[in-house]
Amino acid sequence: MDCRKVRELIPLVSGGDSETADVEFVKNHIASCSTCNKLYQKYIADRQALNSLNSFTLSDSIEERLKAISNSVIANRTTSERKKKVTPFAVRIVRVLTGTALILIALLALVFYLGGQKPPKQEKAPEGIVERIEYNRMIKRAIENATLDEKEKVTPAEREKCRVLDSADTSSFDF
């Protein structure tokens, strides 16, 4: 019964990957069981055989290729880092110029649009009404300026005002 359990534990115990209790259990058992001890020694020998690979030396050609790989990877990385440093600056310049050009185009378009617009058409009133409006304005101004002295009536316009005032029908005016 113990041998079965010990045989299960030996692979890990032999490699130092077991709990202390298991190590004690196995070592106590193999001290008195030659079969299990033999199995334990085989697993120890397996570990030593695997450890022999540690002393293996790679050939010069492999070492040279590894060195070449290392150098080329680093060289490529350095080149791509340089490109990364240049590219963002160039991209920024291009973006600024593109943005400026778009703004200018937009402003020019606005200027042309606004410049091309015509003022709204003023509707002409019928001729008879225009003359009547002007006549009434003239009369109104003349009446409002009715306190002018004789001396100031020097211009033809002033004289015309007085003449019109004398002949005007003032009943309809609202002062």
Partner 1 sequence: MSSEIVVEPQELEKRLIERFRSGDSSAMETLFEKYSKRLFWVAFNILQNREDALDAVQETFVKILNAIDRFDTSRRFYTWACQIMINLCVDKKRRSLKARSVVSLEDIGTQPLQQAAPEHLVTQEEKRKRVFTVMGKMAEAYRTVIILREVEGLGCKEIGEMLATTHATVRWRLHRARIMFRKIWEKEFPEEI
Kindly list the residues in this chain that would bind partner 1 in the complex (CB under 8 A). Answer: 11-12, 14-15, 17, 42-43, 46-47, 49-63, 65-67, 69-74, 77-78
Nearer to partner 1, 58 or 102 (CB): 58
Q: Least distance from C-beta 32 to partner 1, angstroms?
A: 23
Give the shortest CB-111-to-partner 1 separation in angstroms: 50
Q: Which is nearer to partner 1, 48 or 122 (CB)?
A: 48
Closest among 61, 80, 57, 81 to 69, alpha carbons compared: 61
Give the nearest distance from C-beta 62 to partner 1 in angstroms.
Answer: 5
As a whole number of angstroms, the distance between CA 152 and CA 51 comes to 132
User: CA 72: distance to chain centroid?
Assistant: 35
Residue 91 C-beta: closest distance to partner 1, Å: 21
Residue 33: C-alpha distances to residues 3, 29, 85 (Å) = 8, 6, 71
CA distance 112 to 73: 58
Minimum distance between the CB of residue 67 and partner 1, rounded to whole angstroms? 7
Nearest CA to 168 out of 149, 150, 143, 145 is that of: 143
Nearer to partner 1, 18 or 164 (CB): 18
Cα–Cα distance, 140 to 146 (Å, whole number): 10
All residues at 6 or more sequence positions from 40 whose CB lies less than 8 Å from its CB, including other chains: 10, 13, 14, 26, 30
Nearer to partner 1, 38 or 92 (CB): 38
Please identify, using beta-carbon distances, which residue of 21 and 146 lies nearer to partner 1: 21
